[in-house]
Structure formats: C-alpha cells, structure tokens
Amino acid sequence: MSALEIILLVIFLIFPVIDLVLEKYKSNNKKFEYCKTSAVLWCLTGLIVFIYFQGELSVTHPFILPNTLWKTVFAGTLILLFIIYMIYVMHTIVQSEKIRNEIVSSLEHSGDSLNDLMPESRSELFMFTFVVSVTAGICEELIFRWYLLNVIELHSNWVIAAIGSSIVFGLWHFYLGWKHVIKTALIGLVLCGLYLYFESILLVILIHILMDVYSGLVAYLARKESQRVLVKQYTKCQSY
C-alpha cells in the first residue's frame, strides 16, 4: 500500500471529526452549505481517482454494469419499482393530512442538522436534487462501495468488508446524530449487498441518488402542502 493511499485512508477515518468541526461553522445559507458539502465530496473522490490513475491504489476499477442480461433487467426493474413507489408516496403526501403531519413532526424532532439539511423552497429543492443528491450518489458510492469495500476485502473477506465500510459510512453522518448513524450504516450494508450481487457501481449510484431525491421531495412536499392547507384555512376564517 502506497503512502498516498495510507494518507487517503487516514482522511476517510478522521473525516467524521472534520465534519463535526465544519458543522459548528456552517452557514445559515442552505444553498451555500449544499455547495460546500458537494465540493468536499468531489475533492475526496477526485483524490481517489487521481491516486488510481497514478497506479498507487491497491484496488482495481469498479464493475460498471451487471455481467449478465437477466441481472441487468432485474436491476432496471428495481429502479423502476423504486420510482413508482416514490410517485405513490408523493401522491399520498398530497392527499393525506395525517401523513403530512407525521412527516413534519418527524423532521422537527430529528434534530437541527437534519432539519436544516432538508430543502424548503423550490430553488433549494432544485439544488438538493441535482447537486447534493447526485454528488452524494456518485461520490459516496465510489468512496464506500468501490474503494473502501474492496480495500478492506483485500485484507479480510467480503462480510467484514461490507460491515466495516458500512460502519464508516454511517460514522460519516455522525453530525446528524447516533440514530442516523445506525440508519445510514444499515442502508450502506444494503447497498454493499446490491453492489456485490449485481456487480454494478452504476446501479448503487442510481439507487443512492433516488433515495436522496426521495428524502428531499418528501420533506419539501410535506412542508409545502402543510403550509398551503394552513394558509387556505386561515383565508377561509378571515372571510367569515
């Protein structure tokens, strides 16, 4: 293992601490924070790519697409089903006041960090979808499901590699609280399983992007519809 790769691994392991420090000095401007977070992830991913092309990375290139037709079809079906589920959930949020209230209440009790992360305006939703979600999907999958998973597997086995990389993935979200660390680690474990089974980094990138887009849309739509209903009720009361 080269000196550059050792430095890279150290950065990945201490990043949760760095993230906590950055969190203390975060801006009140949500769009600026979106750009800052994305820039950090791209810098780390760029470092991996640079070291890889220098020939000093101990892992080989990631698998891009499933190696069989039926796995490709299965992967495409999973993505399609997830998109259909997203549409169904969005429709449910618009139709059900109870669901909206539960989501808004959950956001309010989830802690300031997560609450502040979720988009509230259309412009924030646009940036969250096309900047934050896309960046997280590409960068975090290359970091955790390609590099970290494979480098740990080189020195152990795939089970330890999946668990170890998922724990580090969860710890990268420590600024959101321990509950979110555990939740994220479990999601990471599922994504590891999908990557190992389908042998496709593209699949897990797309699923990761869709999951983040889903989270942003749910939060935005629940808040927006709740505010719209409140305004409508207030206007109705004022008319009497």
87, 217 Cβ separation under 8 angstroms: no
Amino acid at 20: L
* Predicted confidence band of residue 232 (pLDDT cuts 50, 70, 90): low
Confidence band of 129 (pLDDT split at 50, 70, 90): very high
Question: In this predicted structure, what is the pLDDT of residue 17?
Answer: 87
pLDDT of residue 193: 95
Residues in the chain: 240
Q: What is the DSSP letter of 174?
A: G
Q: Provide mean pLDDT across the span 181-205.
A: 95
Secondary structure (DSSP) of 207-234: HHHHHHHHHHHHHHHHHHHHHHHHHHHH
Give the C-alpha separation, 64 to 195, whole Å.
10
Give the mean pLDDT of 163-179: 91
Nearest to 195 by CA among 151, 133, 149, 139: 149
Question: What is the pLDDT confidence band of residue 231, given thresholds at 50, 70 and 90?
Answer: very low
179, 48 Cβ separation under 8 angstroms: no
Pick 109 or 85 by higher pLDDT: 85
Radius of gyration of the chain (CA): 20
Q: At what angle do helices 69-95 and 178-198 cross, to 10 degrees?
A: 150
**What percent of the chain is modeled with pLDDT above 70?**
93
**pLDDT of 1 strictly over 60:** yes
Residue 228's pLDDT band (cuts 50, 70, 90): low
User: Residue 132 and residue 122: Cα distance in Å, rounded?
Assistant: 14
Q: What is the mean pLDDT of residues 197-225?
A: 93
Cα separation of 174 and 177, whole Å? 5
Q: Which runs of E-coded beta strand occur in 50-204?
A: none
* CA distances (Å), origin 62, targets 23, 46, 148: 32, 15, 11
Under 8 Å between Cβ of 34 and 127: yes
Q: Is the model more confident about 2 or about 172?
A: 172
Q: How confident is the model at residue 240 (pLDDT cuts 50, 70, 90)?
A: low
Higher pLDDT, 200 or 17: 200
Arithmetic mean of pLDDT, 156-162: 94
Distance, in Å, from the CA atom of 105 to the CA atom of 138, rounded to the nearest integer, reads 31
DSSP structural state of residue 61: P
Buried b (16+ CB within 10 A) or exposed e, 192-225: bebbbebbbbbbbbbbbbbbbbbbbbbbbbbbbb
d(CA 94, CA 42): 35
Residue range 195-205: mean pLDDT, rounded: 95
Domains of the chain, residue spans: 3-232
pLDDT class of 115 with cuts at 50, 70, 90: confident
- Judge residue 180's burial from the number of C-beta atoms within 10 Å of its C-beta, 0-12 exposed, 13-18 middle, 19 or more buried: middle
| Proportion of the chain above pLDDT 90, given as a percent | 62
Convert the pLDDT of each residue in 21-63 to its tens digit. Answer: 877 778 888 899 999 999 999 999 999 999 999 999 999 888 8
